[in-house]
Amino acid sequence: MKATIKGVSSFSAEQEAQALRKAMKGFGTDEDAIIDVLTKLNVSQRQQVLITYKSTIGRDLIDDLKSELSGNFERVIIGMMTPTTMYDVHELRRAVKGAGTDEGCLIEILASRTNGEIRRINENYQLQYGCSLEDDIVSDTSSMFRRVLVSLATGNRDEGTYVDDALAHQDAQCLYEAGEKKWGTDEVQFMSIICTRNRHHLLRGRTPLTCLSFLVCAWCFCRSSIGVQ
């Protein structure tokens, strides 16, 4: 996962911290000023502002933001101020412990992070909540969907770039047969394709599946496998 905000070259953590304090001090909150400050800074710069805010102003920036903001705007801003790994950890916890299971969140994070990122997520999840991510996934999901998530959470995907065209075609045909005909495919083979093949292989343009149909097929397989333990 690559950062999309490059940050500012003439960066002053103290100046940005003071600007944020000014935006929240007094009557009302200058939300535009908060947006202007945070959206121009990269992750590292925002973390420097977080530290500088406490050391120069004597207050916790996250606490101040939470007290001044609300709703989705608060969630987005707090998310921007949270280190990437910890944001993933908090979102995964919310996905399995909130009202219902946020399946989309689980898939989005576990299917898109690198092996190294997955390992850091697992380590921090254990430290933060005193239990493993896998245990929470197992307790909150079921059937084939659970098995796919547990496999993704091991962080064992091939991260190479080599694509075997013949194997890509074979894998695509296997998923096509499962999705378009009947749900009788070999679950072990299915999980091997979804959870361990490298991304270049999965998104190979010359296979019978487009990227979208591939994802729909995979999703339908998991959701249609109720009762398969």
- Do 24 and 49 have their domain in common? yes
Last residue of a domain, one of 37, 62, 80: 80
Q: Looking at per-residue confidence, does 153 or 203 come out higher?
A: 153
Question: How does pLDDT run across 89-100, given as a tens digit for each residue?
Answer: 999 999 999 778
**pLDDT computed for residue 227 by the predictor:** 43
Q: Supply the DSSP symbol for 181.
A: T
Q: How many separate domains does the chain show?
A: 3
Amino acid identity for residue 58 in this structure: G
40: domain range?
13-80
Q: What sign does the CA torsion over 88, 1, 196, 108 have?
A: positive
What's the predicted TM-score (pTM) here?
Answer: 0.73
Predicted confidence band at 167 (pLDDT cuts at 50, 70, 90)?
A: confident
- Do 218 and 170 have their domain in common? yes
Question: How does pLDDT run across 13-58, given as a tens digit for each residue?
Answer: 999 999 999 999 988 899 999 999 999 999 999 999 999 999 999 9
Last residue of a domain, one of 57, 80, 103: 80
Question: How does pLDDT run across 120-132, given as a tens digit for each residue?
Answer: 999 999 999 999 9
Asked if residue 159 is part of any domain, the answer here is no
| Cα distance between residue 181 and residue 192, in whole Å | 20
Output the domain CATH number for residue 120: 1.10.220.10
